[in-house]
Structure 1
Amino acid sequence: MIRQDLQYPIGEFQTPNQIHTELLETWITEIRQFPVQLEELISHSPPLSEEWKYRPNGWNIRQLVHHCADSHMNSFIRFKLALTEENPSILPYQEALWANVPDTQNAPIQSSLTLLHGLHQRWVILLQNLSKEQLNRTFYHPESKKSITLRENTGIYAWHCRHHLAHVKLALDAKGKWN
């Protein structure tokens, strides 16, 4: 029996050696489709399933959805900083702690779904209009101690979308088993 990695069900992000135009377009499509896919998954779920977790001691569906809104807002802002400053140092945040603040614990999921729809619409417009030079602009991440290109960050966030869609699917399949 193959045991699925519940924390990284699709594996961890691996930066490809070369990020060609077709791959970038695939990533942009994944970012575009994410809010609709997430909403579709959740819209067919039973009442109170937002409390279901995808693994023991993991986040519940509500926390996952709010985390995606928080994380994707941060990423969008990092894109803007990289486009308007020379390799700016970004501000990391404690996502595990953010998952436990009052809005993440109590706000309806729909508030973050609405935010994700608008945010991803703007993000995709931005991504589709970046030149090759702009895609190569960078920001500095003090935790990893490296500069990340916008091209690579597009892939990281396409992966992030797939990663958390897989978490929501796992939580729905577990039907409250990990609560």
Structure 2
Amino acid sequence: MPSQYLQRPAANEYAAYYEKYATLVPETDILQVLREQTESVRALISSLSAEQEAFRYAPGKWSIRQLMGHINDGERVFGFRAFAFAHGEAAALPGFDENDYVRESNFDQTPLQDLLAHFILLRESNVLLLEQLAEGDWGKSGVASDNPVTVRALVWIMAGHVRHHLNILRDRYLTDVA
């Protein structure tokens, strides 16, 4: 296994926007963090009732289903970017507007357990991909959302993105749900 996955990416490996995600993850075995997060997400989402799935903590905010769908979108996008750049992709990859993606989705009509199943499969696929990367692959970079980013940074961002949204789920959604 490469040792680069043990090192937090430097700030010059990702756009400043992603600092809030990359710094949420402790400097440790990032693959173990990803595996443990899968179980944390499973436990938290499985504990919610059917009535809670559509809850929004304020008007205009996403429902819990939409939040889980967004987590899946992020997992898919960050995972693809890591895959592409690890395999030498030279083309710049587009950004994505999370609000547009959620608006164009049918997450509110998708049972939360189905969204959870999607997350588990996406995460397992990403971990399997990352486990097979060579040492040099972690330092490879490409351009996404008009900014350079390394494979290592994408993996830390992926973990931080999930942690960020689980914190929001706990702090803003589950405190107000009856």
Match of 1:121 in 2: 124
**Superimposed CA distance per residue, residues 88-138 of structure 1 (whole angstroms, 9 cap, x where no aligned partner):** 311212210111224122111222211111221121122222222100111
Go from structure 1 to structure 2 and tell me whether the alpha carbon gap of 1:44 and 1:64 turns closer, same or farther (over 3 Å shift): same
Q: Do the aligned residues in 2 keep the contact of 1:135 with 1:151 (CA within 8 Å)?
A: yes
Go from structure 1 to structure 2 and tell me whether the alpha carbon gap of 1:102 and 1:137 turns closer, same or farther (over 3 Å shift): closer
Match of 1:96 in 2: 99
Q: Do the aligned residues in 1 keep the contact of 2:79 with 2:158 (CA within 8 Å)?
A: no
Match of 2:108 in 1: 105
Go from structure 1 to structure 2 and tell me whether the alpha carbon gap of 1:35 and 1:54 turns closer, same or farther (over 3 Å shift): farther
2:69 counterpart of 1:66: yes
For residues 93-172 of structure 1, the aligned pairs below 5 Å read 93-142=96-145, 145-170=146-171, 171-172=173-174
Provide structure 2 residue ranges, at least 5 long, that are not aligned to the other structure: 1-18
Q: Do the aligned residues in 2 keep the contact of 1:140 with 1:146 (CA within 8 Å)?
A: yes
Go from structure 1 to structure 2 and tell me whether the alpha carbon gap of 1:107 and 1:152 turns closer, same or farther (over 3 Å shift): same
Task: State how far apart, in whole Å, the 2-side matches of 1:137 and 1:87 are.
Answer: 11
4+ runs of 1 displaced by more than 4 Å? none
What RMSD, in angstroms, separates the aligned Cα atoms of the two structures?
Answer: 2.4
**Superimposed CA distance per residue, residues 47-78 of structure 1 (whole angstroms, 9 cap, x where no aligned partner):** 31112235564322111111111111111111
Q: Do the aligned residues in 1 keep the contact of 2:21 with 2:164 (CA within 8 Å)?
A: no
> Does the residue aligned with 1:173 lie in a helix, a strand or coil?
coil
Provide structure 1 residue ranges, at least 5 long, that are not aligned to the other structure: 1-10, 17-21
